[in-house]
Amino acid sequence: DQVSANAVSLPSVTMPMYNASSWLDEGLQAILHQDFLGTMELSVFDDASTDDSRKVVEGWRERLEARGISVVISGHNSAQPRGVGYAKNKAITQSCGQYLCFQDADDVMLPQRVRLQYEASFLHPNTLIGCKVQRVPEGSTERYTRWINTISQDQLITQVYTSHGPTVVMPTWFCSRNWYLKVGPFDEGGKGVPEDLLFFYQSLRQGGSVARVDQCLLVYRYHEKATTHSVTEETIWKLRVDFLQERVLSQWESFTIWNAGKQGRKLYRSLSSTNQEKVKAFCDVDENKIQKGFYTYEESKQRPKPKIPVLHYKDASAPFIICVKLDMTGGVLEENLNSLLLKEGTDFYHFN
């Protein structure tokens, strides 16, 4: 995609900020130490912080500008923050770079981040580019971090339905401004809105791709108070089910749900009636569930109530939606899938 003559092909690091004062020095120092050789911009939008976040950023302006990094800072000081979607949109709108490097105020980039993602963005237009991360504190969200860092390029596309959310995590995103303008803006509903997931799904709907620089380029901070925790599981569940129905189930004439337990049955009950009718069976490894022979959909308005067979996975037929937690079975699930010679993205998708 041709960069228009008047737009600047520099990357803008866009950073929404809310009461981040204790992390900012480390993060801004890291922006100062980027080994990217071109000009860069830092665009900060302060979402009504009540600490001295604004002052801290202002204190770095001279050092940053001395290194050729232009700095734009604005914000508002209403009584309440307007939310992270709003603040991200503002940080982007007031910036002028042709590329956007998303940065959370409490994370720390490694020196090569901007350079390597900027290079990758030329190879991958219309793509959300991520990277590997180092989680701090060490060992928090171990499974999640392993998933972020180890899924394959194909799985960045096939595993977009899992409860882990976007296959490249938002604080690692890098994309062209043009792509943001096509996909965005972020939802500004505020608390309880999973704006990253909505944007990610919208990017895929628009035909966008996902890629990852296979190096650790970000120290990604976990803390209990993170905004992420204010979004309800149910909101996300419903979005995932709808996206799965739209992108996958609409293409299938029939399928099997892999897991006759709680998660599998919950998925079945969440489907549209059209898609419920496509469920030929549940399958499982648990003899007790298989012995019962079938699952009766008690809440159904239909008479007689639908009865769905429960089979051993070796007797079941593809394609499958897999509702077993990834990485929780000590490799047994993966071995079972491999034994059936199934291809992810064709014969099965992971939903958990």
At 187-211, the pLDDT tens digits run 999 888 999 999 999 999 999 999 9
Strands 40-47 and 320-322: unpaired
Task: Burial-class residue 233 by CB neighbours within 10 Å (0-12, 13-18, 19+).
Answer: exposed
How much is the pLDDT for 190? 86
| 155 SS3 class | helix
Tokens matching residue 331: 């490799």
- Answer yes or no: is pLDDT of 325 > 90: no
- Answer yes or no: is pLDDT of 231 > 80: no
How much is the pLDDT for 1? 41
**324 C-beta neighbours (distance < 10 Å), count:** 21
DSSP 266-287: HHHHHS-HHHHTTEEEEEES-H
Average pLDDT over residues 47-73: 97
**Given phi > 0 = left and psi -120 to 50 = alpha, else beta, which region is 341?**
left
How much is the pLDDT for 224? 67
The whole-angstrom separation of Cα 61 and Cα 59 is 6
| 78-92, 133-147, 214-228, 297-311: range with lowest mean pLDDT | 214-228
Q: pLDDT of 237-256, one tens digit each?
A: 999 999 999 999 999 999 99
pLDDT bucket at 230, cuts 50 / 70 / 90? low
- Answer yes or no: is pLDDT of 219 > 60: yes
| 142-146, 169-173, 197-201: range with lowest mean pLDDT | 142-146
- Answer yes or no: is pLDDT of 290 > 90: yes
How much is the pLDDT for 3? 44
- Answer yes or no: is pLDDT of 89 > 60: yes
The whole-angstrom separation of Cα 274 and Cα 176 is 39
| 84-88, 225-229, 309-313: range with lowest mean pLDDT | 225-229
How much is the pLDDT for 2? 43
CB proximity list for 163: less than 8 A, separation 6 or greater:
236, 237, 240, 352
Decide: 127 and 168 in contact? Cβ < 8 Å: no
pLDDT bucket at 8, cuts 50 / 70 / 90? low
The whole-angstrom separation of Cα 256 and Cα 264 is 10
Average pLDDT over residues 104-119: 98
Tokens matching residue 299: 């809440």
The whole-angstrom separation of Cα 285 and Cα 302 is 29
Which is more confident, 116 or 3? Answer: 116
- Answer yes or no: is pLDDT of 78 > 50: yes
How much is the pLDDT for 233? 85
Which contiguous run of DSSP H or E holds residue 92?
helix 84-93
How much is the pLDDT for 191? 85
pLDDT bucket at 227, cuts 50 / 70 / 90? low
How much is the pLDDT for 7? 52
The whole-angstrom separation of Cα 211 and Cα 193 is 25
How much is the pLDDT for 192? 87
The whole-angstrom separation of Cα 71 and Cα 57 is 9
| 29-38, 165-174, 209-218, 321-330: range with lowest mean pLDDT | 321-330
| 69 SS3 class | strand
CB proximity list for 132: less than 8 A, separation 6 or greater:
148, 149, 212, 213, 214, 215, 216, 217
Q: pLDDT of 9-31, one tens digit each?
A: 899 999 999 999 999 999 999 99
Decide: 105 and 49 in contact? Cβ < 8 Å: no
Average pLDDT over residues 41-62: 98
Tokens matching residue 224: 């209990």
Task: Burial-class residue 198 by CB neighbours within 10 Å (0-12, 13-18, 19+).
Answer: middle
How much is the pLDDT for 6? 44
Percent of the chain with pLDDT over 70: 96
Strands 255-258 and 320-322: parallel
Strands 320-322 and 348-350: parallel
How much is the pLDDT for 239? 97
